[in-house]
Amino acid sequence: MASIVLLSVKQTAQTKAKRCLGSRLKGLAGAGDLNLRFMSHGTAGRSAAGTTKRGALAFSGAVAVTAAAVVGFLANANHFQRAEMATTIPQKAKKTKEEEGDIAQRCRGFMSVPVTDISVLEKRKDEMSTKMEMLIMETQAEFCKALEEVDGGTFKVDKWQRKEGGGGISCVMQDGKVFEKAGVNVSVVFGYLTEEAAKQMRSRGKVLKGKDGKLPFCAMGVSSVIHPKNPHIPTVHFNYRYFEIEEEDGSKQWWFGGGTDLTPVYIDRDDAFLFHNTLKEACDKHHPKYYADFKKWCDRYFYVRHRGETRGIGGIFFDDLDSPNQEEVFNFVKSCARTVVPCYLPIVRKHLNDSFTQEEKDWQQVRRGRYVEFNLVYDRGVKFGLATPGSRIESILMSLPLTARWEYMHEPGKGSREAEMLEVLRNPKEWV
What b-and-e string marks burial along 360-396, b requiring 16 or more CB atoms within 10 Å of the CB? beebbbebbbbbbbbbbebbbbbbbbbebeebbbbbb
Closest C-alpha to 378, from 429, 307, 316: 307
Catalytic residue among 227, 237, 287, 351: 237
- DSSP class of residue 25 equals P
What is the pairing mode between strands 252-263 and 52-54? parallel
Residues of 125-140 as b/e, b for ≥16 C-beta within 10 angstroms?
Answer: eebbbbbbbbbbbbbb
Long-range contacts of 87-94 (CB under 8 A, 24+ apart): 87/287, 88/286, 88/287, 88/324, 88/328, 89/284, 89/285, 89/286, 89/287, 89/288, 91/285, 91/286, 91/328, 91/331, 93/327, 93/331
Residue type, 293: D
Helices (H), 159-286: 195-202, 269-284
Q: Is the dihedral of CA 349, 351, 353, 358 positive or negative?
A: negative
Please give the DSSP secondary-structure letter assigned to residue 162.
-
**Per-residue b/e over 271-308, b at no fewer than 16 CB within 10 Å?**
bbebbbebbbebbeebbeebbebbbebbbebbbbeeee
Phi, psi values for residue 405, rounded to 5°: -145, 140
Could you tell me the CA-to-CA distances from 183 to 17, 211, 365 in Å, in that order? 22, 38, 19
Active site residue 276: no
Helix residue ranges per DSSP H, 262-406: 269-284, 290-301, 326-337, 345-350, 358-373, 380-387, 393-396
Closest CA to 253 of 309, 167, 326, 182: 326
Contacts of 87 (CB under 8 A, 6+ apart): 287
Residues marked active site are found at: 237
